[in-house]
Amino acid sequence: MPVLHVENVRKSYGGSSFALDGVSFSIEKGEFVAIIGPSGAGKSTLLRCINRLIAVTSGTVSVDGTDVTKVSNSGLRILRRTVGMIFQHYNLVNRLTVIENVLHGRLGYKSSLSGTFGLFSHAEKMRAYELLQAVGLSEQIYQRCGQLSGGQKQRVGIARALIQDPTLMLCDEPIASLDPNAAKIVMDTLRDINQRLGITVVANLHQVHAAREYAHRIIGVNAGKVVFDGPPSLLTLEIIQQIYGSEAQDLMLAEGELHA
């Protein structure tokens, strides 16, 4: 059974055009999949349809065999805690400490009362500390997140997602706001959790070279449709041009500079 199965998903925000227009694919356990495409292709919408931050207009999405589009509110909470998510802008609470932000990943398991007042068990705090050590932030656990660099913030985001004990990890442009160095650390961390913990990773990436380097499989999206789905080795220049359309020229230039 695939970890994630998306079938004929359409999403419209009203009006006649579709942000997603009949998207279908299946992802097996342990895969590292990159979704690439130009800005506005529907990559972010697609990712958010998987954990129903955005409701689909039609079609089905199932995670571990559960139909996300039909699940009840309490069922949705249970489903969401098995799906970790990290974001381009990290989406941490900057005024809280690093460890408090990591513990937010446990909220899906907490009652309203204990979660609201941040009453976490010793075991949960120890687990948060271990994860922070694993992502190399053991020195910063009591620092406010607002004081961290972008790369550090994204690693806090990863720890927050991992403490959920997810089977699937959604990454929405995880390195788009990072410098090349920090981006490499973040991508290496994602590869590590994919290989060592067996967590399936689905990442929206704007950078083709990162997708090529890290992903087992690449899904190219353009104007809400899947236009490519295959291993990085099949991603030829023509196909990149097909995926990115008019943006391709700029992209090639950037890629050229990177490899030069």
Residues interacting with another protein, by CB under 8 A? 51, 53, 77-81, 83-85, 87, 89-96, 100, 104-105, 107-110, 112-113, 115-118, 144, 157, 160-161, 164, 170
Q: Which is nearer to another protein, 94 or 138 (CB)?
A: 94
Nearest approach, Cβ of 53 to another protein (angstroms)?
6
Token couple for 138: 């053991």
Nearest approach, Cβ of 116 to another protein (angstroms)?
3
Q: Which is nearer to another protein, 16 or 117 (CB)?
A: 117
Q: Which is nearer to another protein, 114 or 242 (CB)?
A: 114
Q: Which is nearer to another protein, 21 or 124 (CB)?
A: 124
Alpha helix ranges (H) inside 104-179: 112-116, 122-134, 150-162
Backbone angles phi, psi at 23, to 5 degrees: -90, 130
Return d(Cα 57, Cα 62) in angstroms, integer: 15
Q: Going by C-beta distance under 8 Å and a sequence separation of 6 or more, which residues neighbour residue 148? A: 98, 140, 156
Nearest approach, Cβ of 16 to another protein (angstroms)?
25
Of 230, 254, 219, nearest in space to 42 by CA:
219
Torsion angle in degrees (nearest 10) through CA of 78, 120, 141, 187:
-10
Nearest approach, Cβ of 65 to another protein (angstroms)?
18
Alpha-carbon distances of 70 from 3, 56, 58, 83, rounded to whole Å: 17, 10, 11, 17
Q: Which is nearer to another protein, 165 or 255 (CB)?
A: 165
Q: Which is nearer to another protein, 113 or 260 (CB)?
A: 113
Nearest approach, Cβ of 13 to another protein (angstroms)?
17
Which neighbouring-strand residues pair with 66? 63
Nearest approach, Cβ of 141 to another protein (angstroms)?
16
Alpha-carbon distances of 111 from 8, 103, 107, 180, rounded to whole Å: 36, 14, 8, 40
